[in-house]
């Protein structure tokens, strides 16, 4: 998962759910536009991804550059 913040004046954030492709590179597979990135918003986002794909999400790695 990757979240881009501070890129617009409306305070919306773009969160990407990424997968690793055959070359070992990240490939975005789902997008979430939201006015917040917190546990509630990400829980709903991941639930929708799981529901739309029909299978569980095996691994999610969270990396943050916020201190």
Q: Each residue of 9-31: pLDDT tens digit?
A: 777 888 888 888 889 888 888 89
Total structural domains in the chain?
1
28 in a structural domain:
yes
Ramachandran angles phi, psi of 53, nearest 5° = -85, -25
| pLDDT confidence of residue 40 | 92
| pLDDT confidence of residue 65 | 65
Distance from chain centroid for Cα 26? 12
Q: Is the pTM of the predicted complex or chain greater than 0.85?
A: no
In angstroms, the CA 67 to CA 60 distance is: 20
42 in a structural domain:
yes
Task: Report the range of poorest mean pLDDT among 13-17, 43-47, 61-65.
Answer: 61-65
60 in a structural domain:
no
67 in a structural domain:
no
User: Which range of residues forms the domain containing residue 33?
Assistant: 2-53
């Amino acid at each position: 998962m990757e979240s881009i913040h501070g890129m617009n004046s409306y305070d919306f954030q773009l969160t990407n759910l990424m997968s690793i492709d055959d070359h070992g590179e990240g490939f975005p597979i789902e997008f979430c536009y939201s006015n917040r990135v917190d546990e509630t918003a990400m829980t709903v986002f991941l639930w929708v991804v799981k529901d739309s794909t029909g299978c569980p999400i095996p691994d999610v790695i969270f990396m943050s550059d916020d201190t």
